[in-house]
Structure 1
Amino acid sequence: MVITRRGLLAGALLSSASLALGACGGGDDSGGDDGADAKTLTLWHYEGATSAMGVAWAKAIELFKAKHPGVEVKFEEKSFEQIQQNAQMILNSDSAPDILEYNKGNATAGLLSKQGLLADLSDQVTEYGWDKKLSASLQTTAKYDEDGIMGSGNYYGVPNYGEYVMVYYNKDAFAKYNLAVPTTFDEFVTALDTFVQNKVTPLAVGGAEYPAQQIFYELALSKADRAWVDDYQLYKNKIDFKGTPFTYGAQTFADWVSKGYIGKDSAGIKAEDMGVSWEQGKYPILISGSWWYGRFASEVKKFEWGSFLFPGNTLHPGSSGNLWVVPEKSKAKALAYDFIDITMSAEVQNLLGNSGGVPVAADASAITDAKNKELIENFNKLVTGDGLAFYPDWPAPGYYDTLVAGVQGLINGSKTPTGFLDEIAKPYDENLADLGK
């Protein structure tokens, strides 16, 4: 998420011009090269106020203000799309914030690091001990080499939560049709068939944004292994887009549309509307990320619900969470580093876990809710089992939009699976050529 990306929950898209005008950096009140004496910290993130991350970051702001009583925190809530589409322009201007949440991966944080727009945080990672709190797999998305490829090089961001794609299900709807939680892919398909036979479209899908492409990727991963993921995401070897994983993913996704598992009207549905429709009980199943978990826990009142990992897969879309990054043009770098450290503290990490998030440095005994424990335990299983496969849109700049348009074509029937694969192969291969791969 691929991207997920998940800040689409946060607000409407603004134009590039209004985003630039609405932003304000640390201003002229900064002091020193690192802004240690700055009196303003401008912070952007795109987590909804009721989400686990939104709750945790609000607490972090509260703690930061208590530690720095003379500093004003200018928090600006953006949507994922705002930052995704305008980051290069904003971070290359004097309107850059001092710290922001940004999408991880080669096409996003990697690209900005390559362009010199992000501060190198390697010294701070060691100084604050953040590397001791992050497992090796979670550090993958924090480090980028000189070509902007993740996994090695310097630290250009700090993740402080984890995320992964799972299956959310309406327990009442499953019980109505005597369906057990599927443990195999075939059992999952049987459940989807049962709903269709009873004139119920089983899957809530957002084709206009990230969710649909993550379903396609989940299907491709059912036929993939770690070597394939490394080839696709880290450019270890050439990827064959007509090979088994992507061919199976594209064809099966198209089949799911034709069988009625995915509604043909979902091509125009955004992630927010997808989530709300599931909360309202209009669809029994939603395949999306852990970033929804805290929100569902607080907002779903009409039915009992649960979650499970996509049946049969050992690999799943997921990674560390989005990154805290510090723009090179930040006027309050020292304050930004201190804010990151607060978000990594036990108090904030434990709150994140108890609010339905996936912390990276929480005290397991401090997580009290049984559902939240299950969420975190499943993530830990993926981390220890090397099961995080990142997101499909990461490998190339602009790839997110390519995949959105591609899966929309599969949903509305304007593209064949072969045509879809040709379409997504082109920018990927062009990016490799640009990198000299």
Structure 2
Amino acid sequence: MSTAIPTGKVTLTVAGSENSGTTKALAAAFEKLHPNVTVDYKYTDVNDYNTSLNLTLSSDDAPDLALLNMIGTTVKANLVRDLDPYAAAYRWNASVPSTELDQWRADTDGKRLGSGHLWAAPAGFSVVGVYYDKKLAAELGIAKPTTFAEFQADLVKAKAAGRLPIQLGNLAGHSSFVFQSIVDTADGAAKSTAWAYGVPGSSINTRGGTEGAQDLATWAKKGYTPAGANGTDLPGSVANFTKGQGLFLFDGSWDAAAINKAMPGNVGFFPLPGATVNSPATGIGTSVAYAIPAKAKHPDLAAAFLNFMGSTQAAQIEFGTGFMPVTHADTVKTPRGSVLGDVATAWAKIGQDNGLVPFFNNSTATMNTTLTSAGQELVGGKVTPAQYLAQLQADWQKGHQ
């Protein structure tokens, strides 16, 4: 392997399903730095891409870089390269927070996630936090909460004033954002991540799991969430929030630009706070990540492009196209008064505290379905918090036995 860029004309082929413009913009910037390099990005619809990925990787015409939406069977089938040598050469372990890289680590059979060899490197992240309506908060005399107790007090204050405390769309199970955010802040990133990765002996029946399930059930029962939450999808809840229906909204950074456009200068964003002001910041998140296929013709150049994705220049490109930067989040420029500034600040703090936690939804092949159905039952008062947790743990046990 080498970290040198080839001197002659060379084409780097990249396969992926990312269509926000991030990869193309990164490619254009990389080409400008290295005029002898042409980056050929081949886009495929995500469903077709995932279905055909192993065939693409095993082909004699395999790309030099391939997006991984999940590790799947690519590692077990020896279709992608171990990136540990490149991580050492480019010092990714020092520059990228471990909680971000670890999402793409696995043992050699690809079953145990979160540890082992590095099989892909990130090109941008998304993160879930809490949006809040600044105008409504000001009317209620509420400042951005700095502890979970303050957040809970704000819910009570909003409800007493006749305003909806939390906007929620749960048709597709997005109450999991609320539940997991509480779990992560209560138990800490390490314990939540262990459960998400399927570490033997892990359980959702923790203090945080109990608090998260109980709070979600209680908030729904007290009317802190919309009565029709189970019949509203995430885009619908976002639209309702931007119309002033809700003080808070648990949602991802992917909606920041749209929310800011709908209510410019009137929306903020923060990671759900912990027990104290100094509690480590946590956030639910995952990344767009690329692997180097075993049959790549230009693996060293591919690694150089991956390394560029962690540069200061790339940070602004990633942020400007809807993703959190791999590194250097503190350098991105945002419009004055935009919620994007709050998102960037939150992302930097989460990275600094190693607080990024993988989505619980991806813990098993069926966990998203379980979180959706069980979450609707909990919000609808059909199951108890204990029964909700039992459903999640049973799915986890089946998926990791």
Task: Check whether TM > 0.5.
Answer: yes
Shift of 1:180: 2.3
Residue equivalent to 1:43: 16
Residues 230, 177 of structure 1: alpha-carbon distance in 2 compared, 3 angstrom cutoff: closer
Structure 1 residue corresponding to 2:230, chosen from 253, 267, 286: 267
Structure 2 residue corresponding to 1:304, chosen from 229, 248, 266: 266
Shift of 1:353: 4.2
Shift of 1:134: 1.6
Structure 2 residue corresponding to 1:155, chosen from 111, 118, 123: 118
Percent of aligned pairs sharing the same letter: 21
Residues 332, 405 of structure 1: alpha-carbon distance in 2 compared, 3 angstrom cutoff: farther
Give secondary structure in 1 for the equivalent of 2:324.
coil
Extract unaligned runs of 5+ from structure 2. Answer: 1-8
Residues 200, 226 of structure 1: alpha-carbon distance in 2 compared, 3 angstrom cutoff: closer
Aligned positions of 1:133-148 closer than 5 A: 133-148=95-110
Partner Cα distance (1:367, 1:282) in 2: 30
Shift of 1:185: 2.5
Partner Cα distance (1:398, 1:115) in 2: 22
Residue equivalent to 1:415: 383
Extract unaligned runs of 5+ from structure 1. Answer: 1-35, 48-53
Shift of 1:140: 1.4
Structure 1 residue corresponding to 2:54, chosen from 85, 92, 98: 92
- Provide the alpha-carbon RMSD of the alignment: 3.6
Residue equivalent to 1:362: 328
Residue equivalent to 1:340: 306
Aligned positions of 1:35-434 closer than 5 A: 41-45=14-18, 47=20, 54=21, 56-63=22-29, 67=35, 72-76=40-44, 78=46, 82=47, 87=50, 89-94=51-56, 98=63, 99=65, 101-103=67-69, 108-109=70-71, 112-126=74-88, 130-148=92-110, 149-209=112-172, 211-225=174-188, 228-229=191-192, 231-236=194-199, 238-297=201-260, 299-301=261-263, 304-312=266-274, 314=279, 316-319=282-285, 321-326=287-292, 337=303, 339-353=305-319, 357-362=323-328, 364-365=330-331, 367=333, 369=335, 372=340, 374-433=342-401
Give secondary structure in 1 for the equivalent of 2:131.
strand
- Structure 1 residues 399-408 or 357-366, which shifts more? 357-366
Give secondary structure in 1 for the equivalent of 2:357.
coil
Give secondary structure in 1 for the equivalent of 2:209.
helix
Amino acid paired to 1:321? S
Give secondary structure in 2 for the equivalent of 1:181.
coil
Residues 365, 198 of structure 1: alpha-carbon distance in 2 compared, 3 angstrom cutoff: closer
Residues 227, 350 of structure 1: alpha-carbon distance in 2 compared, 3 angstrom cutoff: closer
Does the 8 A contact of 2:194 with 2:202 survive in 1? yes
Shift of 1:59: 1.7
Shift of 1:114: 3.7
Shift of 1:286: 0.9
Give secondary structure in 1 for the equivalent of 2:186.
coil
Amino acid paired to 1:196? K
Shift of 1:110: 5.7
Q: Deviations over 1:366-421 (max 9, x none)?
A: 63656655433433333333333332223323222221222122123333322222
Residues 424, 127 of structure 1: alpha-carbon distance in 2 compared, 3 angstrom cutoff: same
Does the 8 A contact of 2:198 with 2:396 survive in 1? no
Shift of 1:252: 1.5
What is the count of residue pairs matched by the alignment?
A: 380
